[in-house]
Structure 1
Amino acid sequence: MRQESAGVTEALLDSARREFMEHGFHGASLRRISADSGVSTNSIYTRFGDKAGLFAAVVGPVADGLMEYYLTCVDQATDTQDSSSAMETGEEGTDGVLRYIYQNFDVFYLIFCRSAGTEYEQYFDRLAQIEETYYRAFADKYAKSPEQITDFFVHVICRTGWQYIYEIVSHKLPFEEAKVFMDNIKQYRFAGWKAVLGHE
């Protein structure tokens, strides 16, 4: 087997990332990626199977990293002993998520805005579902009247929480603007949850 030149895969993934950023998954062309990277289309198919496999190679490791970090944050918040500590831990997790996203901004722009037709178009939903499970348990544990906090309320609130992140990414806010925005959101959500839990 011909020994691969150093950096070939990296060049290919860089070309693919730029192509997906500009054209989205459906509009991306393996021929253009091939021409830009200098890697034949046959080699792309051999390495990644198809265009979806190439997209997964571009975004997968970073997406998995965020999911792992987020699940760790959820576990830490679950292990707290009171609602204020849980919310503070959640806020720290939100800060970490934001930093991670901005360290890998192009990848998350692809996931949130350019992934239609791939397995990653459901990534947002998976994050929201994890948050929904956590907040349902959170409400049951800490609310004075948990029966008044409906599953539908939790569902909408959790999807809205990740919608904030989507809006930041889709509008390509600079990091400092995004941080100020999310600091305001954290204050808003903290006060809102205290009221809903009946702790005011």
Structure 2
Amino acid sequence: MANRVEGVTEKLLECAMQEFLANGYNGASMRTIAENAGTTPRSIYTRYEDKEGLFCALVEKQAKELTDFFEQHMQGYSQRPVEEQRELFHDEEFENEHKGYMQSIIDLMYDSFDAFKLLICCAEGTKYGRFIEDIAELDEKYTLKYIEDTGNDVISSGRAGKLLIHQLCSSYMYGFFEVIRHDMSKEEAQVHISQLQDFFSHGWDKLFNP
């Protein structure tokens, strides 16, 4: 049995990747995937239960890895001494550390570009349809924690409300993942994300430290 189906799973995943990239999750055809893989729809359902299961097999590892990476970094920063956190925008050592962190994320995305293309552009209708929003919610969670832990008065003073915090975190994350949506090269992505980071850092600094 194992010898008879050897290579079928790999071919299915390859053809599924092509079909989902071309037509999105909702427009993709399981019959087309099966035909291109030289097998039957039943063979797909035997392995992945349903269409979403097949899609998830292509992206779940990358989605978890990136989400965990984001959260671990933000959690790690939130555990630093309060005085150190207050110097967030004026600490050269942290700035260099953050650049390294961003480079690691870029490396991770570009090592699995097609999987991230699926997550960003083709996941509507799956449990990953809110992938960017979920990352943005993490960013928002730790931004509010930073405000509380450092005693910053950005909200209590009225300089910003929680809705604005939410919008800024969402805007940043949507801007971040534009590198995937627009098929930027890795070199272009590095420039784009650096510029985006500079813009938002100055904006946050203005809000937190007027």
Normalising by structure 1, what TM-score?
A: 0.90
SS in 2 for 1:137: helix
2:114 aligned partner = 106
Asked if structure 1 preserves the Cα contact closer than 8 Å seen for 2:78 and 2:146, the reply is yes
Greater Cα shift, 156-165 or 142-151: 142-151
Q: Deviations over 1:81-126 (max 9, x none)?
A: 3233586355543332222111111111111111111111011111
Q: Deviations over 1:25-74 (max 9, x none)?
A: 11111111111112321110111111111111111111111112111111
Q: How is 1:9-28 mapped onto 2 (pairs within 5 angstroms)?
A: 9-28=9-28
**Once the 2 structures are TM-superposed, how far is the Cα of residue 139 of structure 1 from its aligned partner?**
2.1
CA distance in 2, matches of 1:78, 1:117: 34
1:31 aligned partner = 31
Tell me how many residue pairs correspond in the alignment. Answer: 198
Out of 129, 139, 148, which is 2:147 matched to?
A: 139
CA distance in 2, matches of 1:99, 1:3: 35
CA distance in 2, matches of 1:143, 1:193: 15
Q: What amino acid is the match of 2:10?
A: E
Q: What amino acid is the match of 1:141?
A: D
2:126 aligned partner = 118
CA distance in 2, matches of 1:11, 1:68: 29
Out of 176, 180, 198, which is 2:191 matched to?
A: 180
Normalising by structure 2, what TM-score?
A: 0.86
Q: What amino acid is the match of 1:32?
A: T
| Aligned alpha-carbon RMSD (Å) | 1.9
CA distance in 1, matches of 2:101, 2:143: 14
Asked if structure 2 preserves the Cα contact closer than 8 Å seen for 1:73 and 1:90, the reply is no
Name structure 2 gaps, 5 residues minimum: none
2:2 aligned partner = 3
SS in 1 for 2:6: coil
CA distance in 2, matches of 1:184, 1:125: 21
- Which has the larger helix fraction? 1
Name structure 1 gaps, 5 residues minimum: none
CA distance in 2, matches of 1:136, 1:92: 24
